[in-house]
Amino acid sequence: MTPAPSHHQRVLSGMRPTGKLHLGHYHGVLKNWLELQHEYECYFFVADWHALTTHYESPEVIPQSVWDLVIDWLAAGINPGSATLFIQSRVPEHAELHLLLSMITPLGWLERVPTFKDQQEKLKEKDLSTYGFLGYPLLQSADILIYKAGLVPVGEDQLSHVELTREVARRFNHLYGREPGFEEKAQAAMKKMGRKNAKLYQELRRRYQEQGDVEALETGRALLENQHNISVGDRERLFGYLEGGGRIILPEPQPLLTKASKVPGLDGQKMSKSYGNTIGLREAPETVEKKIKTMPTDPARVRRTDPGDPAKCPVWSFHEMYSKPEVMDWVQEGCRTAGIGCLDCKQHVLDAVLAEQAPIRQRAEEYASDPKLVRNIITEGCEAARDVARDTLDEVRQAMGLAYR
């Protein structure tokens, strides 16, 4: 099933507040968000409950990280005028949807999500045999489905969570999408497309349901996507009716795989907090300088007069990321002939990193010195998010028979 096209344009993603962002996050996730915010209706949020699933014994890091994260986003250029920024725990509707979805989610689906066992193995020092941690991906499903998001930008490691979300949505629609009088409502909706389109729709529906003709299904979906004078509800009914299911209440999202960032870590491995090889997004220039100056280089260059090979040096990976071709030629030549020293070589990297950080650091300082402004941005975002979340939750309650109030 595809998500209802009326929500295709909604993008949702979250980050856990467990520390400051580094350049790897900037070049991977954040730059991606910067582009998306111009093209789609974006919802970006701080997943503080998700942080609690692994940090329940040390929740102190969360509050400070929440605001650091928001400031990092704003400083990087995320614009609260085009994207809705909010904090998960301030939209409690996520929790209610999580609870309701838990009723229909088989335990085995959660136990089989690869991150469940992987993280338990990896974070051995923590006891992650909790109910909350098992439910981590389902809480993520609630985050996504409550906004009927069509696209979810995530890294490779999170793909299985989007897949689970799709399965849960499908199960939900299957169980609760059969409203009373569905058939009649679908028929009535069909008429609203006009006689010609209605006839075509019926033909495609027949071909798919009787002959399993997948092409007819695709054509039928495209036909519905191009209907502009039917309501969202009718369109969802017709999507469901086309496939033989019920109404689609929770559309299935698609993952939008974020390309891994090309920034290397200080030791040449991928930049990651767990390797302790990061440069903070808005780290102070003095410590950036110290980190770069003490970076390992080609071990063959013991003395200044020993020639080296950039291919064996983590500094070279930074040149590949940041330097112009002339500088790269200069490094290649100078390193191999011992014509340049490693500090000369590193200076170019240092300058480039500092130049990249300067405007970000400056904007971050402005936001950090105006906590009221940051709080207002978040308060507004939370309200806007809640409006959408409440509507979905109303539909969900109705569909599950919980509308007796």
Binding status of residue 12 toward ligand TRP by CB under 6 A:
yes
**Residue 152 contact partner, candidates ligand TRP, ligand SF4, none, CB within 5 to 8 A by sort of partner:** ligand TRP
- Among 392, 389, 376, 327, smallest CA distance to 80 is for 376
Task: Let me know: does 57 contact 126? Beta carbons within 8 Å.
Answer: yes
- Give the number of other Cβ atoms within 10 Å of residue 10's Cβ: 21
Q: In angstroms, give the least distance from the CB of 154 to ligand TRP.
A: 5
Which is closer to ligand TRP, CB of 46 or CB of 266?
A: 46
Which is closer to ligand SF4, CB of 283 or CB of 298?
A: 298
Among 152-160, 217-225, 241-249, 347-355, which window interacts with ligand TRP (CB under 6 A)? 152-160
Which is closer to ligand TRP, CB of 143 or CB of 234?
A: 143
Build a one-symbol-per-residue string for 101-140: x at contacts with ligand TRP by CB under 6 A, - elsewhere.
Answer: ---------------------------------------x
CA distance 395 to 248: 11
Task: Let me know: does 177 contact 240? Beta carbons within 8 Å.
Answer: yes
CA distance 292 to 350: 7
**Residue 340 contact partner, candidates ligand TRP, ligand SF4, none, CB within 5 to 8 A by sort of partner:** ligand SF4
Binding status of residue 41 toward ligand TRP by CB under 6 A:
no
368 Cβ neighbours under 8 A, 6+ residues apart: 71
Binding status of residue 315 toward ligand SF4 by CB under 6 A:
yes
CA distance 235 to 6: 9
CA distance 68 to 44: 15
Binding status of residue 308 toward ligand SF4 by CB under 6 A:
yes
H or E element in which residue 242 lies: helix 232-243
At residue 11, the 3 state secondary structure works out as: strand
Q: In angstroms, give the least distance from the CB of 352 to ligand SF4.
A: 14
For CA atoms 274, 275, 281, 286, the dihedral sign is positive
| Chain positions contacting ligand TRP, by CB under 6 A | 12-16, 47, 50, 140, 143-144, 152, 154, 158
| Chain positions contacting ligand SF4, by CB under 6 A | 297-298, 301, 308, 310, 313, 315-316, 331, 335, 340, 342, 345-346
